[in-house]
Amino acid sequence: MNYDFTIIVPVYNELGNLNRLEQLLNAYFQKASRQTCAILIDDGSSDGSTALIREISNRNEHIYSIIFSENSGKGAALKAGFEAVKSPLVGYMDADLQTHPEDFEKLFPFTKEYQLVTGWRKDRKDTGIKKISSLIGNGIRGLLIQDQIHDSGCPLKVIDSHYAKQIPMFSGLQRFIPAMILLQQGKIKEVPIPHYPRLEGVSKYSFKNRFLGPLIDCFGYIWMKKTYIRYNIKEKKLY
């Protein structure tokens, strides 16, 4: 089947959320404005998520799966998903269901003009510590990266697949997707979306990987920005 839009869902130890994720995806497929599928990417889960992902993929026509042999990180899961998609647009969301697939519809109206349309969780439904660490991390990242994004880590995005496939692989990739689109001279747009409380499972993030990790990764991005190779081919004749 030819799809217009593919949703990438990285999964790491989210067993309690997967059945509800399946229900929300199937409900969205029925009313989506574009022909849509999803790819669940298991990042080496150890809680039984892997087996359930296989079952969900086998029993649903529009849900596919990629299974990692070991935990490689969210950036690796996204990169694997970007490389696998064949649709002109690719999006992603987290399996914790603090964002819902139906809210992709809020982003679609801007995809003709912008190569990345990303959600902005203005009203966060997180714990106080999580809100503060995210606020500090976003502030420092914004100061160093200067991509003019309020909520770079929002796990609801729609990207032109050509641009997504050009994003290089490195740890912490998900924090720099807007900046990587800008490096390719693409245009980005933020759109406010709802944010929902986590009902099952636990967050995989702490102060260390919300603040210290991103701070170190920012310096890696600054180096990449200075050395990034960009070119446009006017014409070619091969073989």
Torsion of CA 72, 76, 80, 81, to 10 degrees: 110
> Quick one: average pLDDT of 19-41?
97
- Report the side by side order of strands in the sheet with 63-67: 63-67, 36-42, 5-11, 89-92, 157-160, 116-120, 188-192
pLDDT, tens digit, 9 for 90 and up, residues 82-125: 999 999 999 999 999 999 999 999 999 999 999 999 999 877 66
Report how far residue 197's alpha carbon sits from residue 212's, in angstroms, rounded to the nearest whole number.
25
pLDDT, tens digit, 9 for 90 and up, residues 156-166: 999 999 999 99
The domains found in the chain, sorted by start residue, are: 5-227 (3.90.550.10)
The band of 38, judged by pLDDT with boundaries at 50, 70 and 90, is: very high
Residue 14 in this model has a pLDDT that exceeds 70: yes
pLDDT, tens digit, 9 for 90 and up, residues 148-204: 677 877 889 999 999 999 988 777 777 788 888 988 989 999 999 988 866 775 665
Residues 6+ apart with CB under 8 A from 216: none
Report how far residue 122's alpha carbon sits from residue 145's, in angstroms, rounded to the nearest whole number.
21
Instruction: Look at the chain and count its residues.
Output: 239
Report how far residue 174's alpha carbon sits from residue 73's, in angstroms, rounded to the nearest whole number.
10
